[in-house]
Chain A
Amino acid sequence: MQKILSLLLLGCGLLLAQPPSGIAIRNARIVTGSGPILQKGTVVLRNGLIDAVGENVTIPTDAWVINGEGMTVYPGLIDALSTIGITDAAATPGSARPAATPGAPAATVSRGPEDRPLTTSWLKAADLINTTDRRIESARNQGFTSAITWPRRGIFAGQGAVINLAGDKSNDMIIVPSTGQYLALVNGGFGAGYPASLMGSISYIRQIYVDADRYARIKKQYADNPRGLNRPEYDRALEGVLESQRLLLPANRRVEITRMISFSKELKRPTVLYGLQEGYLALDALQAAGLPVLINLKWPEKAREVDPENIESLKVLEVRDKAATTPAELAKKGVKFAFYADGIDQPADILKAVRKAMQAGLSEADALKAMTITPAEIFGFADRLGSIEKGKIGNLVVTKGGIFDEKPAIQHVFIDGVKYDPAPDTQTPAAAGARATGGGKEQEQQ
């Protein structure tokens, strides 16, 4: 039985290893993202990569030709901070507290930094990808071809991975297996021990980086000449931290933004700030800091089901009114920013949220950049993704009309050169299963 199954899987793998010999989209408007817009151009995908792009491209005779008349081709969209593909409770916020050391009972009360509380820095999103996560398809249906997905639980939550939003096996999806460490300022809460306060959390982060620097030094010393030296004690938490040099620091409110900017200077590591909804209040500080930022597209909105007599404070109303101006303002200041859609439940609302930022003054080109080339630059994979250029990975979105239109009509999505067409009813789970697992239906039904 097992043999048959493995043969079957092998078959699938072989099948996918031989995509159609080429796809050409011709006579389409092409928004390359790297150069000027081609009003009537052709893109050729071959072998999972972009083989050619331009106005005068010879279409290979064996290519499957798509008539792009009236269509626009964009680079595939990238969600810069998400949990797409991760369904593991150990990496999801709000789940039970994990054991401090493997095998030890959970919920041990930590006494200090030495117990490495709320730390799973060694967790890699790349190892946690579950191909049956339905969010993969629903994001794809909105034009997203890649995401940077992160474990999100604890203070040092773990390492993010750049993934493509299609693939039979999780291994097929990984573009960059480790692209940084996700940090959050959380505490264990009641009864969980250290840290139980904000100052405790910050001090813990500081201690970890002090420890990590020392750990790296000692390890190097030992590796250079182990004779006469005691071997350094293995510390999984510090290994994880050293593996992922780039930090993601939370900075939503103005005070958090300025604090995290100075914290980042102190930690002396490449830093990316995320949140930024009050970024419009800290423009100069952000410009001076020169750090790239990830802006959450989940703009604050009035909660449903509130007391009708409750009078909201001016501050709350102001943030609700101004949050969406942050991208336009940051663009003016030349701050590098990317978008992420964390907290938006309906995938269709993601582009709606981008349009809100555009109504607040963000140009279409800047909006597109924030979901294509900029996240690729921030996380260092712009040589592979983020624009339509020869040699890059074949991730494209083809729309009728513009992608930022009121009702964007997404016709095709190409990932690794493979065409995916959004189903008319994007929420049908059966269809999602069939496509995502390539015939592995029994997996979906579990």
Chain B
Amino acid sequence: MKKFFVSFTLAASLAFAAANDTFLVRNITVHPVTGPKLDNASVLVVDGKISEVGAKVTAPKGVKIIEGKGLHIYPGMINSATEVGMSEIGSIRETSDTGELGEFNPQLRSSIAVNPSSEHIPVTRANGITAVITLPGGGSTENRGFAFGALNPVIVGQSALMHLDGWTWEEMELKRTAAIQMKFPTIQMLSPRAMMMDLPGAFPRNTFAEAKKSYDRRIQAMHEFFEQARRYQKGKESKQPGLRRDLKFEAMIPVLEGKTPLMIVATRNRTIRDAIEFGQKEKIKIILAGLEQLGDNAAKIKELNIPVILGETLTLPSSEDDPYDSTAALPGLLHKAGIKFAFGTFDTQFARNLPYQAATAVAYGLPYEEALKSVTINAAEIWGVADQIGSIEKGKWADLIITDGDPLETNTQIKQMFIKGKAVDLSSRHTKLFEKYMSRQ
């Protein structure tokens, strides 16, 4: 504990010393992630970007030097599904800006909902996470479709890739529309009122046939929305006179063009299968998110090269008869199937646990190298920013963490963090409370 405290003060003092975004870290073990590790090497950062990596790096005169003896440098980690900055205290409505109502809202931008002063940001950073995907529709569940009938969210808005540092959300923005988030509908056997009132016994259940019919109707409505968006796109291309500008359809154009992926939250076998089929029918790029199982979809996902964002893997199996390790072993299964994936936590306060998801997966069959990649370069590739972040390579943003060991291990300390080359304060509400209670007489 003492050690942690000391390292914290060290980090804090260094943060203030490195005022500019140009510096050299030397005599450090470099883990570029995309290549083999380099012992006793240096990383030169110029104006916030990585300028050189190697054993012999010539530093410009007068550059600030950080001595890295005995330490390691890694790229900052990326959490591929969070609500960080969008919801401060879940139960206080005023501090939450997620979960809009309405079936199709692709125009909603989660990036502007991010509060740069959120207490959750430094807490998340403390474990070495430098960028997160923010979800406009929160959680890792599909569309359970009950509460508000026609207002049930399906397309919930734009997921943004955000740096975890900046005075404003604009400064934090790394990619405004990394994906458009969709919550795929599910077959609901319970009646809407029963779900809303949490009294399943008191209300009649739908028959499967009824539930299936309403599910099919919802999917039909999704196809219709895409069709409308397509007509709008054509009208716009042909400069159709009198075309009313519609922000919803406007936001759909990059999806239809295949430039922006549709990130579909689908947890169970059927939903995953139907989500893939939906993407194929609409000929769009999709990312599957929140998977709790692979079901019989592994071959299809691999064949179509669909990336996957895993949901909570540090959780109990979803069915009581599942093997005890079914959630922890899922990442390894995806890797064996040749599916590219990254981890997400789908929440706010536990976004910091990202590295432990990857670490646990290693214990259940995922090769270590892949685990590290899934929180760095794989995520960057999935989100289309592999030229900017995700590894220690020349030309990328200097999103770096200096550690005293493997960042996937719980007892490793993050000594320093840089986001776009700027040293970031590693103190957080947690360290403040730690100090407060440690100093109690």
Contact = CB atoms under 8 A, between A and B. Distances in A.
Interface string B356-385: 000000000000000000000000000000
A311 B319 CA distance: 9
B209 interface: yes
B202 A189 contact: yes
B270 interface: yes
A307 interface: yes
A314 B321 CA distance: 7
A315 interface: yes
A313 B269 contact: no
Contact of B320 (A189, A306, A313): A313
Interface string B257-284: 0000000000001100000000000000
B208 A313 contact: no
Nearest to B321: A314
Contacts of B208: 305-308
A305 B321 contact: no
A190 interface: yes
B386 interface: no
A313 B199 contact: no
Contacts of B319: 311, 313
A314 B319 CA distance: 10
Contacts of A305: 207-209
Contacts of B320: 313-315
Nearest to A304: B207
A224 interface: no
Interface residues of B, number: 14
Contacts of A311: 319, 321
Given A189-B199, A189-B202, A190-B199, A307 B187 contact: yes
A190 B321 contact: no
Interface in A270-321: 305-309, 311, 313-315
Interface in B194-249: 197, 199, 202, 207-209, 211
A264 B187 CA distance: 43
Contacts of A189: 199, 202
B324 to A, nearest CB: 14
B216 to A, nearest CB: 14
Nearest to A305: B207
A69 B320 CA distance: 57
Nearest to B207: A305
B314 interface: no
B12 interface: no
Contacts of A314: 320-321
B212 to A, nearest CB: 8
A304 to B, nearest CB: 8
Contacts of B270: 309
Contacts of B269: 309
Nearest to B212: A307
B59 interface: no
A189 B208 CA distance: 26
B15 interface: no
A311 B269 CA distance: 11
A307 B199 contact: no
A120 to B, nearest CB: 20
Interface in B156-209: 187, 189, 197, 199, 202, 207-209
Nearest to B295: A309
Contact count band on A? 10 to 19
B199 to A, nearest CB: 6
Given A189-B202, A307-B187, A313 B321 contact: yes
B269 to A, nearest CB: 7
B189 A307 contact: yes
A110 B199 CA distance: 19
A315 B321 CA distance: 9
B336 to A, nearest CB: 23
A190 B270 CA distance: 34
A306 B319 CA distance: 17
Nearest to B269: A309
Nearest to B198: A190
Contacts of B202: 189-190
A308 B207 CA distance: 12
Contact of A190 (B187, B197, B207): B197
B219 to A, nearest CB: 16
Contacts of B197: 190
Interface string A310-339: 010111000000000000000000000000
A305 B208 CA distance: 5
The interface centre, meaning the residue of A189, A190, A306, A309 with most chain B CB atoms within 10 A of its CB, is: A309
Contacts of B209: 305
Interface string A120-144: 0000000000000000000000000
Contacts of B321: 311, 313-314
Interface in A160-197: 189-190
Residue among A305, A308, A311, A313 with the highest chain B CB neighbour number at 10 A: A305
Contacts of B189: 306-307
A441 to B, nearest CB: 36
Interface in B277-327: 319-321
Among B189, B197, B199, B208, residue most surrounded by chain A Cβ atoms (within 10 Å): B208
Nearest to B189: A307
Interface in A319-375: none
A190 B319 CA distance: 29
A97 to B, nearest CB: 12
Nearest to A307: B208
A221 B294 CA distance: 73
A123 B320 CA distance: 43
A402 B197 CA distance: 51
Interface in B125-184: none
Contacts of A313: 319-321
A174 B198 CA distance: 42
B326 to A, nearest CB: 13
Contacts of A315: 320
A108 B211 CA distance: 36
A191 to B, nearest CB: 10
Contacts of A306: 189, 208
Interface string B29-67: 000000000000000000000000000000000000000
Contacts of A308: 208
Contacts of B207: 305
A313 B320 CA distance: 7
Interface string A4-15: 000000000000
A314 B207 CA distance: 23
Contacts of B187: 307
A309 B199 CA distance: 24
B203 to A, nearest CB: 11
A31 B269 CA distance: 57
A132 B187 CA distance: 43
B97 to A, nearest CB: 30
Contacts of A307: 187, 189, 208, 211
A190 B269 CA distance: 34
A305 B209 CA distance: 7
A133 to B, nearest CB: 25
B273 to A, nearest CB: 10
B29 to A, nearest CB: 48
A313 B211 CA distance: 21
Contacts of A309: 269-270
22 contacts: A189-B199, A189-B202, A190-B197, A190-B202, A305-B208, A305-B209, A306-B189, A306-B208, A307-B187, A307-B189, A307-B208, A307-B211, A309-B269, A309-B270, A311-B319, A311-B321, A313-B319, A313-B320, A313-B321, A314-B320, A314-B321, A315-B320
Given A190-B199, A305-B209, 13 more contacts: A189-B202, A190-B202, A305-B207, A306-B208, A307-B187, A307-B208, A309-B269, A309-B270, A311-B319, A311-B321, A313-B319, A313-B321, A314-B321
Interface of B: 187, 189, 197, 199, 202, 207-209, 211, 269-270, 319-321
The 4 closest A-B pairs by CB, nearest first: A305-B207, A314-B321, A305-B208, A313-B320
